[in-house]
Chain A
Amino acid sequence: MEYFVQQLINGITLGSIYGLIAIGYTMVYGIIGMINFAHGDIFMISAFIALITILAIGVTGASSIAFILLALLIVLVIAMTFTAAWGWTVERLAYRPLRGSFRLAPLITAIGMSIVLQNFVQISQGARVKPLQPVISGGVTLMRGQTENGPIVVQLSYMQMIIIITTIVLMVAFSLLIARTPLGRAQRACEQDAKMASLLGVNVDRTISLTFVMGAALAAVAGLLFVLFYGVIDFYIGFVAGIKAFTAAVLGGIGSLPGAMLGGLLIGLIETFWSGYFTVEYKDVAAFSVLVIVLIFLPSGLLGRPEVEKV
């Protein structure tokens, strides 16, 4: 029981991070119908920006709590801003010139961009893993139990609390942004019918750019949380995290924001429970198998609308 609860907490934490990345996939797919393959690498870029900013500010676990919180807030803003610039640039260079081209073309430039970003970071920052001393440590003990292997403690660390709370706050804010603001309205209009929206005076190109910017900013939040929680990053983290987040977006129903979050949580839980109860080595296989199974039996995902193909 205690073990189960602990895995549940870990799964939700991991799932929150996947969910934040998945939103970037789902929004881009919703608006221009392409898989932004480089999004996982945008997440990786943001993790590096966050790491470097933390080092530059010089905040460590020994600093006072007020300073840590203030510093992390600054790091968050910086990481979101600069990652957004990366997201915007990638869209501008690799996707915008191909708008209206045949369907596979942007997917191939996306793969090219992903390779470029990975190797750029590898060259400029080195291939070795970057460890960060924990900035936020400690937590609260929820349960204590006894198993045949000795005592077991269920812990909810402060970092996990921060991750879950941040994710919830961002989700609420983001849903409001999409539902209530003119920008969100423009975005939904482009999603439904880009041509009609442009005839009605919506600047489609700018809306698409802003979609990439917002997706990148959310990935930056995920990147900062990832650095703080796991404490180890390298230039390759974007690939696997990207595929899993995409799986999450598909599982939830691509194009649907709550779906992306739900899918992220499910993928995080599946992966954690699989590692906890079966084998760690095959946890990626479990996540990928979920992708395959969902696409075969439920192609529109849990919360997505079925797509009708017309002549």
Chain B
Amino acid sequence: MAEIDKIGTAEAHKSPGQQVLGEERAEALRGEPPTVPEPSTISPLAGAVKDAAIAAGIAAALFLFFIGQKTDLVTGGLGLRSRWGAFIIAIAVIFAGRLTISLLFSQQYKVVEFDLSATIGKTVGAPLAARFGGLTRYFGTAALTAALFYPFILLIGFPQQDKQFIDLGVLVLTYIMLGWGLNIVVGLAGLLDLGYVAFYAVGAYSFALIAQHFEVGFWIALPVAGMLAAMWGLILGFPVLRLRGDYLAIVTLAFGEIIRIVLLNWYTFTNGPDGISNIPDPTFFGLEFKRGDENLPGIFGMKYDSAYKQAYFYYIILILALITNFVTLRLRKLPLGRAWEALREDEIACRSLGINTTNTKLTAFAIGAMFGGFAGSFFATRQGFISPESFTFIESALILAIVVLGGLGSQIGVVIAAIVMIGGFELFREFANYRMLIFGGLMVIIMVWRPRGLITAREPSAVLKEKKTIGADMVAQGEGH
């Protein structure tokens, strides 16, 4: 936490030798006594106040035009309205926040002897890390059990709100599945894909169009949609996978936008911005979830309740997500999966060991795309309506955030991140704009605080005799080139 709040920390306190780039700092100083910052002549409290004043001054410059003034449409053009009250409050908040943080946590101005990160590390972090392997296993089992019984608990325990919460469960599981799918590409193979939503869109539109034109059901269209998405993964991946990490990111972003624009404008094929509606529901061995005795709940003599259909959706996506997880875990143990991880760590070493890097990357891309396609066709059948609006860049960013914040390559991390983020999103539905602001802010803060994500320890894929947990700092994880 300390690092993000460095606004206005006087550069003068550092000697030039300290300002060597972070990672290279240790190397640069090796063999010499480390430079000690000169003791500050002012008292810590005064220093902190001065520091907070500088931060408040910068905030005043930043907010002057955006909080201090508001543009309003008035007759004959735009008008300005001053909001000096809000402006002053915002600056005061920055001043107070900055002061509190520097008094509590900053190395320089600290007056209270309390080191938050060290305390957390000792009381929570160390025991967790010590039992990490076990925890993952228990957490996984517990989460799976909870997931299996979730709809039953709701149906029996909370009949008033069951639909709403089962729906939330479906949504969270969709993102878990998407996160796991993207984890193959980003977490395992180390390819940063900013256009993952393209495959989600391909899956959704494939299913919708196949269902519309050929009148086939969900279960036949699902594999076809997955295959089509995988094929698109190959088509898009083939030319661009030679590129280095961040170029690849931008190209995938461009592809995501291209697909969305085509879906938006190819009116005769995709119905453009109006989208496709009346997408059929999935059946259960030919039986439909509808009112009437010949349909599903009726056959067992039960009263129809639309929550049953929701629960059915829930189990479909649960199974799809578990398949994704299972396949990923299995693939990690195969030579292919190990090649992915090796590729993530060092591409040149891989090439010199005879791994075909292009094919290895392509399979990761295609398999990730396939799961995206599955999730997309599930999305289409659940919504019953799709339009290009559902497949914007922000969706890609959200899925990527789930993967990265959860911890690249960690399956459990994706689950935790998806539950926290999607759950939080739905909880704060009324504050639609603020939640995006907070979401972006969290992305920055968590990344600065823990650049490797929440779950950083990984279980090794291949073990000799006994399992040892690898700290993520030991590997150049996710170094996408």
Interface residue ranges, A against B (CB under 8 Å) = 34-35, 45, 48-49, 51-53, 55-56, 82, 85-86, 89, 92-94, 96-105, 107-109, 111-116, 118-126, 128, 130-133, 194-195, 198-199, 201, 203-206, 239, 243, 246-247, 250, 279, 281-282, 284-285, 288-289, 291-292, 295-296, 299, 307, 309, 311
Chain B residues within 8 Å of A104, by CB: 192, 245-246, 404, 478-480
Q: A85-B61, A99-B21 are in contact. List 14 more A-B contacts (CB 8 A).
A: A53-B65, A55-B80, A85-B62, A100-B21, A100-B25, A109-B447, A112-B447, A119-B433, A132-B78, A204-B20, A205-B11, A247-B254, A296-B240, A296-B242
Q: Which of B258, B265, B441, B452 contacts A288 (CB 8 A)?
A: B258
List 9 A–B pairs whose Cβ atoms lie within 8 Å, in order of A's numbering: A85-B58, A86-B62, A93-B4, A99-B21, A101-B451, A102-B479, A107-B249, A116-B437, A291-B251
Q: A103-B480, A194-B21 are in contact. Are A82 and B64 (CB under 8 A)?
A: yes
With A52-B69, A55-B80, A291-B254 as known contacts, state yes or no: A198 contacts B21, CB within 8 Å.
Answer: yes
Closest B residue to A60 by CB, please name it.
B77
Q: Of the candidates A92, A103, A115, A246, which one forms a contact with B6 in the assembled complex, judged by CB atoms under 8 Å apart?
A: A92
Pair B436/A292 contact, Cβ less than 8 Å: no
A203 to B481, CA, bound (A): 29
Q: Which of B44-52, B377-385, B393-401 touches A?
A: B393-401
Closest 9 CB pairs of A and B: A100-B22, A112-B443, A115-B440, A100-B23, A116-B440, A97-B3, A288-B254, A119-B437, A112-B444
Decide: A100 and B250 in contact? CB cutoff 8 A.
no
- Interface contact A281-B261, CB-CB below 8 Å: yes
Residue pair A292, B433 in contact (C-beta under 8 Å): no
B255 / chain A contacts, CB cutoff of 8 Å: 288, 292
Residues of B within 8 A of A119 (CB): 433-434, 436-437, 440
The answer to whether the Cβ of B28 comes within 8 Å of any Cβ in the partner chain is yes
- Smallest Cβ-Cβ distance to B452: which chain A residue: A102
A85 CA to B25 CA, complexed, in Å: 28
Contact B66 A48 (CB under 8 A): yes
Q: Which of B3, B239, B246 contacts A35 (CB 8 A)?
A: B246
Instruction: Choose among B28, B192, B397 the residue that contacts A195 (Cβ–Cβ < 8 A).
Output: B28
C-alpha spacing A174/B20, complex, angstroms: 27
B319: chain A residues at CB < 8 Å are: none
Question: Could you tell me if A198 and B257 are in contact, using CB atoms closer than 8 angstroms?
Answer: no
A119 to B58, CA, bound (A): 20
Complex alpha-carbon distance, A105 and B62, angstroms = 25
A299 touches B247 (CB 8 A): yes
**Contact A55–B192 (Cβ < 8 Å):** no
- Decide if A122 touches B433 in the complex (CB within 8 Å): yes
